[in-house]
Structure 1
Amino acid sequence: MLTEINNLFQFNKKILKLISYQEELIASNIVNADTPNYFSKKINFATEVKKILNKDNISLSKTSRNHIPLVSNNTKYHVYDNVNLEKSAIKNSVNMNFERINFLNNSLKYQAEITFLNHQIKDILVILQS
């Protein structure tokens, strides 16, 4: 029973880690806004979510509880330099307006995921109390 509940929350855990990592990248970009020759860093959120979904689909196809799960705690995300942005006078690609919007957007994603997770937990509690 606990294994099924744990498996239910694995996707949420991975998404929260991804959102948290993206928040760290945005914060790093903001901190380095005045650093010469710094390129802002980012990840492709949609691509990373698809990777998580693909891994989860494979792990959900286990036919025996003795199979080894494919869940990995050392997930690596593909981070790339955002070189498409216009560089400033100090040859820096950080656009503070862009970063502020990304920060707000990412915070909303995180809050939405937490709200969804809270609803899942409440649903499970209702089922367990029945």
Structure 2
Amino acid sequence: MAISLDKVFGIHQNALLVRSDRAELLSSNIANADTPGYKAKDMDFASALANAQKNNTYRMSKTHDKHFDLSVEIDTSQKYRNPNQPDTGDGNTVDVQVERNIFMQNSMEYQTSLEFLNGKIKSMNKALTGGN
């Protein structure tokens, strides 16, 4: 009987990858908080996750010539964030406190998915080794 890892791991494998992309986007916002004209961006997590699940694959780095090319572009549904504060005159729409809060929430959700996957892997390992 074959084990389908997609069924075992559920959405969490794709959620990790999408949350990782979102963390990069949010950290870019924080890094550019003082850049004149920079517009804060975020992604529609639900649509990016649905797209990742639909394609059932994600971007993978090819680090050696003999590796298979497994690149599939996922639409991350990047959007500009509506500013909560009035423009300070330089055109920058980043609110550092908001970005940090969203970044921390994303990090905690990433960690939750990672712990879920870790538990699933431990359970599979225990089943395969007979509990040793």
**Paired residue type of 1:77:** T
Name the counterpart of 1:13. 13
Which is richer in helix? 1
Instruction: Could you tell me which runs of 5 or more consecutive residues in structure 1 were left unpaired when the two chains were aligned.
Output: 57-70
**Paired residue type of 2:31:** V
* CA drift at 1:40: 0.2
Superposition TM-score, scaled by structure 2 size = 0.73
Contact 2:47 2:76 in 1 (8 A): no
Aligned length: 116
> Quick one: percent identity of the two aligned structures?
29
Superposed CA offset, 1:7-49 (max 9, x none): 6447433211101111001110011101111110100112323
Structure 2: how far apart are the matches of 1:15 and 1:42? 16
Contact 2:38 2:92 in 1 (8 A): yes
Superposition TM-score, scaled by structure 1 size = 0.74
**Cα gap change, 1:8 to 1:72, in 2 (>3 Å):** farther
* CA drift at 1:99: 0.6
Contact 2:23 2:106 in 1 (8 A): yes
* CA drift at 1:129: 2.1
Name the counterpart of 2:42. 42
Instruction: Could you tell me which runs of 5 or more consecutive residues in structure 2 were left unpaired when the two chains were aligned.
Output: 57-69
Deviates more, 1:1-10 or 1:112-121: 1-10
Deviates more, 1:83-92 or 1:96-105: 83-92
Deviates more, 1:100-109 or 1:83-92: 83-92
Name the counterpart of 1:112. 112
Contact 1:39 1:83 in 2 (8 A): no
Name the counterpart of 1:98. 98
* CA drift at 1:55: 5.1
